[in-house]
Structure 1
Amino acid sequence: MAAQPRLLIVEDDAHIRRLLRVAVERAGYAVGEAATAREALSLADIDKPELVLLDLGLPDRDGLELIQLFRVHTGAAVIVVSAREDTSEKVAALDLGADDYLTKPFDTEELLARVRTALRHRVTGEAGRTLVAADDVEIDLERRRVRRSGEDVHLSPKEYDVLAELAKRPDRVIGHRQLLRTVWGPAQENQVDYLRIIVRNLRQKLERDPARPALITNEPGVGYRLVTET
């Protein structure tokens, strides 16, 4: 039987750290834990975890500084689990490469769902996929073709480019600035209204009920997510 993925919990609050450990161990994962950034980096170097649950308010270092270190040195997926609710903190974490952001207090079932998604995408190499399916929508990144219920959907170049960026990393929140920078260029990364118009058009063409979007969802003030798993 294959070994379960190893997770690293980085959290200075002992109660929350214990809560996280119990939840992920019950789900069958192997777990390491650290209360400081120094402990976390040392343990990550030894254990090479597949995923890190990272608090930002660590006593010896801001957790934001660790995101890229974990990604570069271990290749681990990173889910931020933090009490910081400020939108700028979420944007910063995602821009630095976090796979997801969960705000405390959190629902353990939602946490485990996010963990499963992040691990699945890491293992299967979602960034390299050329065909992405979401509900009745199929996005062919190689042929630049979008179909809904088997019928071709005509998209403008910008509509397609935004959808393609979301499809390259499905089920992850992609920040407004990152989407604008990639699709429109660095000079337009603050023009969120451009993005809202494109997303509204995509929802009209792709959602079952554009007034209640379930395919392209919004993280207020942060970005958008293409939902492929329900």
Structure 2
Amino acid sequence: MSRAPLVTILDDEPEIRQMLSAALEEAGFRTMGFGRATEFEAALKSHTPDLCLVDLSLPDRDGLTLVHRLALEQGATVIIVSGRAQVQDRVTGLELGADDYIIKPFDPAEVVARVRARLRDRPAAAAGTTARFAGWTAHFDRFALEDETGAETPFSHAEGEVLRLFLERPKRLISRAAMQESLGGAAGESFDRAMDVRISRLRQKLREDPKNPRLIKTIYGAGYIFLGDVEWG
């Protein structure tokens, strides 16, 4: 029997940690709560969470820096839970690799629903963990791009979601609306900006010419298309 997904909660307010833990455990998840980033990072040495809920206002660390590290170095699924409601904060969090952004105050049921939505695609993703295309190999099990020499470049979980979307639909137009539907999150400026940044970073990691990319093409006013041949393994 498989174990329930583990959700870590990093927030310096004990009441919020307790409220989220109660709601998530009632919904069938395991939880671990932390009030400081140092405690959370120490726990990561012996635990691998399926999803991390991270507040940006931490007493001992900048939350945005931690989000970027979790997403890029560990390939973690990250949802920011923050009182910072400005559009720029949401955009920055998504650009740094967060998968979603929830503004305080919130309904615990909404957080549970967002967590479920983010974890729902994981079993399907396990069906194909490696894809080969244009001299590259994408390893979705360890969030890395491998070139023909064997050198690897890490990518974040959020970047991996976009890359997988392209590789699963090669040579087909993918509209912004289709991306939003597949990847989740609220449509609007924050989502569009986050997608632009993630696609730009993927192009850089694939060593694309930004003025004339050969793999990920922008079809202005319509969306994107991935032009490579893809073999899944």
TM-score interval for Structure 1 and Structure 2 normalised by the shorter chain: 0.5 to 0.7
**Structure 2 CA distance for aligned equivalents of residues 27 and 115 of structure 1:** 10
Is the CA contact 1:10–1:35 (under 8 Å) kept in the aligned structure 2?
Answer: yes
Change (3 A) 1:186 1:75: same
Query: 1:46 matched to which residue of 2?
Result: 46
Percent of aligned pairs with the same residue? 35
Deviation, 1:89, is: 0.7
The one-letter code matched in structure 1 to 2:193 is: R
Deviation, 1:119, is: 1.0
Query: 1:141 matched to which residue of 2?
Result: 169
Deviation, 1:43, is: 1.2
So what's the TM-score if we normalise by structure 1? 0.63
The one-letter code matched in structure 1 to 2:102 is: L
Which residues of 2 match residues 64-143 of structure 1 at below 5 A? 64-125=64-125, 127=162, 128-129=164-165, 141-143=169-171
Query: 2:158 matched to which residue of 1?
Result: none
The one-letter code matched in structure 1 to 2:172 is: R
Deviations 1:36-86 (A, max 9, x none): 111111112221101001111100111111112222443321011111111
1:34 aligns with 2:34: yes
SS in structure 2 at match of 1:175 = helix
So what's the TM-score if we normalise by structure 2? 0.62
Change (3 A) 1:65 1:180: closer
Which structure is higher in RCO with an 8 Å CA cutoff and minimum separation 6? Answer: 2
Query: 2:192 matched to which residue of 1?
Result: 176
Query: 2:55 matched to which residue of 1?
Result: 55
Deviation, 1:124, is: 2.8
Query: 1:213 matched to which residue of 2?
Result: none
**Structure 1 CA distance for aligned equivalents of residues 106 and 47 of structure 2:** 26
Is the CA contact 1:5–1:49 (under 8 Å) kept in the aligned structure 2?
Answer: yes
**Structure 1 CA distance for aligned equivalents of residues 41 and 53 of structure 2:** 13
Deviations 1:112-155 (A, max 9, x none): 11001111234433652579xxxxxxxx823416xxxxxxxxxx
SS in structure 1 at match of 2:121 = helix
Is the CA contact 1:95–1:175 (under 8 Å) kept in the aligned structure 2?
Answer: no
Deviations 1:200-228 (A, max 9, x none): xx9xxxxxxxxxxxxxxxxxxxxxxxxxx
Deviations 1:156-195 (A, max 9, x none): xxxx45456546x521356333444648x979xxxxxxxx
Query: 1:227 matched to which residue of 2?
Result: none
**Structure 2 CA distance for aligned equivalents of residues 4 and 120 of structure 1:** 13
The one-letter code matched in structure 2 to 1:47 is: H
**Structure 1 CA distance for aligned equivalents of residues 194 and 104 of structure 2:** 25
The one-letter code matched in structure 1 to 2:170 is: E
Q: Which has the higher helix share?
A: 1
Change (3 A) 1:186 1:86: farther
SS in structure 2 at match of 1:105 = coil
**Structure 2 CA distance for aligned equivalents of residues 89 and 130 of structure 1:** 27
**Structure 1 CA distance for aligned equivalents of residues 178 and 27 of structure 2:** 33
Count residues in correspondence.
Answer: 170
